[in-house]
Amino acid sequence: MKQKETRLNSRENEKMMFEEMGDTHITTSINTPLREDAFLMDDDLKIELIEKHFREIMLILGLDLTDDSLKGTPHRVAKMYVKEIFRGLNPAHKPKASLFENKYQYKQMLVEKNITFHSNCEHHFVPIIGKAHVAYISSGKVIGLSKLNRIVRYFAARPQVQERMSVQIANELKEVLKTEDVAVIIDAKHLCVSSRGIKDETSSTVTSEYCGKFQDTQVRSELLKYIELQIS
């Protein structure tokens, strides 16, 4: 009996810890936590298994899957998870970024602002909806503008923490552009804040990652002027 009570108390403490981690936005790594065998299973099998398990979730919730509106939902959700909203988990989907010579000798910052994205909070699997602003100063090479959008959306298409996403985008830009002079600012609304818990529908979360020359106050102020965000 005492052992059972100990196990129950341990489980309750574990649940409380999980809730605290989710509500305080804790992240444990710059890299998205993935198992080593994450991509040994093909997409079709993943969809089949997720469909099976999501059907069980719906049944546990008490939903009638014989209803015409619901019977296809497990498959739709499974396909959406693998092919759309979590496709950024697979490095095979990483955008191929071609570099070009900076023939115009443009040496000032380039800013791509208001890149819209949809992601999902890894703590509750509910949407994160926001805009990203990215900037870089060429080291001799430039990248197609659409690739900046694609890089943002690639890292958004996975269970995410906004702080981690900011760093991941910045690190990818540094590697692709062969320069340390990059900056990433993300302004997003988290449905885990607005639709559950505190249920605050007006707040948004802003994160930033300044690298190289963007760590200089004057350069950073110029960037913020471009995107019209008042952030010290």
Given phi > 0 = left and psi -120 to 50 = alpha, else beta, which region is 4? alpha
pLDDT band at 17 (very low <50, low <70, confident <90, very high): low
CA of residue 122 relative to chain centroid, distance: 8
pLDDT band at 3 (very low <50, low <70, confident <90, very high): low
What would be the CATH architecture of the domain defined by 98-227?
A: 2-Layer Sandwich (3.30)
> Residue 104: its pLDDT value, please?
81
Task: Let me know: does 94 contact 154? Beta carbons within 8 Å.
Answer: yes
Do the two domains 2-91 and 98-227 of this chain adopt the same fold? no
Q: What residue spans define the domains of the chain?
A: 2-91, 98-227
Catalytic machinery residues: 121-124, 162, 190, 192
pLDDT digits (tens, 9 = 90+) for 202-223: 889 999 999 999 999 999 999 9
pLDDT digits (tens, 9 = 90+) for 47-86: 999 999 999 999 999 999 999 999 999 999 999 999 999 9
Q: Average pLDDT of 21-34?
A: 73
How does DSSP classify residue 74? H
pLDDT band at 103 (very low <50, low <70, confident <90, very high): confident
- Model pTM? 0.86
What CATH topology corresponds to 2-91?
GTP Cyclohydrolase I; Chain A, domain 1 (1.10.286)
DSSP string for 131-169: EEEEEEE-SSEEE-HHHHHHHHHHHHSSEE-HHHHHHHH
> Residue 232: its pLDDT value, please?
44
